[in-house]
Amino acid sequence: MIPVSPGAAAVPYGRPVESVNARVREPKQERSRLSFDKALDAVVALLVERRSDAFTLADVAQRAGVSTGSIYGRVSSKDDLIRAAHVREMARIGEEQRAAFAGPAPEGETFGEAVERVLGTAAELLRRNAPVLGPFMLLANTDAQIAELGGAAHAELRDAFVAALAEREDEIRHPDPHRALEWSFTVVYSVLARWLALGSTQQASGEGEWSEILVDLARMVLAFLTQPEPPRKRRRR
């Protein structure tokens, strides 16, 4: 699943976080469910437009074409509505991610080509969903539940990246292949997140050509993974 907050711990802020599912009341009618789906669509649209939660439930209701009463019939606050939208979007992106990494590697693929393919898969997932992920990542700085789900999503993307390249572990020269792959993902994610303004302002985004960045990252990762460990210098007696 796509990450929302790479630094989120399993239990952020040192305490368990209540699931948003416990705060969303089940609909009594199909019409109520459809109205709530429209409200969630409106929340996502407003977050993308404003890159913050600087809107009211009245704004959501107007955008969705539903009453504020129908929203309050399902949740108690705007925060819970935003959290419900986050859960839905993470589930959607998670399915997209699993499908992207599910395909078999092309026959005859070199290790360098595998690095390019796996890195490109992760990069395009992030880029395609950046408009939605960006504002949620900013909210994760102050919302424990969004941070928790974001941390789990980040770990899932990391694990997918590592697992895809671990299939070629025999071609990795680093003495600790798993750690090397995790470190490679950390660097790749950091560079891409900055370019896409994930978790930061847009002022630092878009520096350099996207295609060139992917090429440079692939070369860097390949060199790091295939560089043999240098011999240790003997200490002088």
Q: pLDDT (tens digit, 9 = 90+) per residue, 167-177?
A: 999 999 999 99
pLDDT at 203: 55
- Would the pLDDT of 43 be above 50? yes
What domains does the chain contain, in order, with CATH numbers?
A: 12-24+75-226 (1.10.357)
> What's the distance, CA 53 to chain centroid?
19
pTM value is: 0.83
* The two structure tokens encoding residue 92: 């959607």
Percent of the chain with pLDDT over 70: 83
Name the residue among 63, 64, 81 with its Cα closest to residue 73. 81
Q: How far is CA 157 from CA 149, 160, 166, 184, 196, in A?
A: 13, 5, 14, 13, 16
pLDDT at 16: 41
- Between helix 78-102 and helix 57-64 the angle, nearest 10°, is 60
Please say whether the beta carbons of 48 and 202 come within 8 A. Answer: no
Mean pLDDT for the chain overall: 87
- Type of residue numbered 4: V
Average pLDDT over residues 101-125: 96
Average pLDDT over residues 116-138: 97
- Would the pLDDT of 5 be above 90? no
Please say whether the beta carbons of 56 and 18 come within 8 A. Answer: no
Name the residue among 216, 229, 117, 214 with its Cα closest to residue 180. 229
